[in-house]
Amino acid sequence: MSSPEEAERALKAMQEAMKMQEAMKMQEAMKAGGTATPAEPGAMPIDWSTEATPAAANGVQVLHSPRQFAVVFTEHAPFPGRNALDGRAGAERARVVSSLRLDPETYFQALCVMASNWNRFVEAHIPPQMRQPRFKLLDAGDGQLYGIKRPKEEDDGA
């Protein structure tokens, strides 16, 4: 009979294989073209041959300092004591699978691209009666994310 540690390792290996298989399917679909919508109209074409091995994550954390943001993608399986320094339940830690450092301007640009892409996804794939949330910019002057209708000038009835 195998130990709990061996069972956990086997389960983790199976989960990693499934994640990698799913990531490979998505990557191949994107490379084939036509199935993935570009993040932004007019975006620069992507040379997929330069892509590193995709990392599968089930969590994300964002940290910031005055000069940069750190986007940390994590993986966590809910096993008591997993990755805990002392091995005790309640002290689990997520494993970092990838991280990205961005200056504030690039971070804001990335957020806008992701929010616009979400709005585009909702518009294309979610039935209107499902009422999925969308993102919009506040205090943006004439600028706005994709998928947000600009308010019409108010008619005072005069």
Instruction: Enter the pTM of the model.
Output: 0.59
Residue-wise pLDDT tens digits, 29-43: 655 554 454 556 667
pLDDT of residue 53: 84
- What is the rounded CA–CA span in Å between residue 128 and residue 151? 19
Residue-wise pLDDT tens digits, 126-157: 898 888 888 888 887 777 877 776 555 544 45
**Distance set, CA 112 to CA 96, 101, 136, 143 (Å):** 24, 17, 9, 11
Residue-wise pLDDT tens digits, 35-74: 454 556 667 788 888 888 888 888 999 999 999 999 999 9
Q: Which residue has the tokens 């990392």?
A: 55
Judged against a pLDDT cut of 60, whether residue 1 lies above it is answered with: no
Q: Which residue has the tokens 């009666």?
A: 129
